[in-house]
């Protein structure tokens, strides 16, 4: 009987999620060559191409998209069966707070997959600015918090220094596709409200480097900021996963300062938290990486 290999399906999901064979390799603890070989064998088993390859990375073909949907269901059932037989079923209600900068384009998908993998966990998700998130978490308003820290910005708290790293991303100057920054003219800056740590960092950086700017638009959230960028209203400093349709990195030379990386971290557990919350945090660290 012809069937698909479970690990090859897991690798397919990792490759499509990561966007390249190289980026997928550490997610499945394989070398790039092993990932490539697994995809070759899976395509051979499927009898058709599953991925289109280009300099920008890989994308699923129509057949790849169809198989991916099956793969996610199969993998979720396999994981659930393993946990059940090992007495590791996770169930309960989890209050999760996430910074709105974290993977804005695919956070909904990530949370949907969590729901498939852990059907007995009821997720209550709130999107917040990182500073507000930390304050609410410190007051016990949430069980788990995922916040953002800017490298070298002196924003990390002592609590954040002990946090669990989920991913790092580069910050970038973004604008509408084809937008050019005119030298000598003030930068038309788009940002979230001034209570946002990234807003504060961006303004401080421009002032320190003596780059003239005007605050052209203030959006209430990242989605609104992306819309303003795509409309060509100005430029913004955002993490790389915020690039979306109609928005791209500014092409050099643009005369704007170099930018650091940001770290997305799960805030550390609190003394006296339940075993369920501790295990749920570990689960999130695995699935959101």
Task: Report all structural domains of the chain as residue ranges with CATH numbers, in order of start.
Answer: 6-85 (1.10.10.10), 92-168+264-287 (3.40.190.10), 170-259 (3.40.190.10)
The answer to whether the beta carbons of residues 119 and 74 sit under 8 Å apart is: no
| pLDDT of res. 270 | 87
| pLDDT of res. 87 | 61
Count CA within 13 A, CB hemisphere, residue 83. 16
User: The whole model's pTM is what?
Assistant: 0.69
272 torsion bin: left (phi>0), alpha (psi -120 to 50), beta (else): left
| pLDDT of res. 89 | 61
Whether residue 209 is preceded by a cis peptide bond, meaning omega within 30 degrees of 0, is no
The answer to whether the beta carbons of residues 10 and 72 sit under 8 Å apart is: no
| pLDDT of res. 155 | 40
Local confidence pLDDT in tens for the 289 residues of the chain = 688 999 999 999 889 988 899 988 888 888 999 999 999 999 999 999 999 988 878 999 999 999 998 988 888 778 767 766 766 566 788 999 999 999 988 888 888 877 777 788 888 999 998 889 999 999 999 999 999 999 755 444 434 446 788 888 999 999 998 888 777 789 999 999 998 999 999 999 999 999 999 999 999 999 999 999 999 999 999 999 899 989 999 987 788 999 999 999 999 998 888 888 888 888 788 777 6
| pLDDT of res. 111 | 81
| pLDDT of res. 110 | 80
| pLDDT of res. 222 | 93
Nearest Cα to 226, choosing from 104, 90, 86? Answer: 104
| pLDDT of res. 66 | 92
């Amino acid at each position: 009987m012809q069937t698909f290999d479970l690990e090859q399906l897991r690798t397919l999901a990792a490759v499509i999620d990561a966007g390249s064979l190289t980026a997928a390799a550490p997610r499945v603890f394989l070398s790039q060559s092993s990932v490539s070989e697994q995809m070759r064998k899976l395509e051979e088993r499927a009898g058709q191409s599953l991925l289109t390859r280009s300099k920008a990375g890989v994308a699923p073909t129509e057949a790849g998209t169809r198989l991916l949907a099956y793969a996610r269901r199969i993998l979720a059932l396999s994981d659930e069966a393993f946990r059940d037989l090992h007495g590791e079923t996770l169930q309960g209600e989890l209050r999760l707070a996430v910074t709105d900068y974290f993977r804005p384009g695919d956070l909904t998908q990530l949370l949907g997959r969590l729901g498939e993998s852990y059907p007995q966990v009821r997720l209550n998700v709130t999107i917040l600015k990182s500073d507000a998130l930390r304050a609410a978490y410190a007051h016990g308003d949430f069980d788990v918090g995922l916040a953002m820290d800017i490298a070298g910005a002196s924003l990390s708290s002592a609590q954040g220094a002990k946090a669990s790293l989920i991913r790092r991303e580069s910050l970038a100057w973004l604008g509408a596709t084809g937008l050019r920054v005119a030298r000598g003219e003030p930068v038309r800056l788009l940002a979230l409200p001034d209570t946002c740590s990234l807003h504060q960092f961006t303004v401080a950086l421009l002032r320190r480097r003596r780059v003239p700017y005007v605050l052209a638009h203030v959006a209430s959230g990242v989605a609104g900021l992306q819309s303003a960028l795509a409309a060509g209203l100005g430029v913004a400093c955002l993490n790389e996963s915020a690039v979306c349709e109609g928005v791209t990195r500014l092409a050099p030379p643009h005369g704007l300062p170099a930018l650091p990386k940001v770290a997305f971290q799960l805030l550390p557990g609190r003394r006296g938290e339940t075993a369920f919350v501790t295990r749920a945090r570990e689960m999130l660290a695995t699935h959101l990486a």
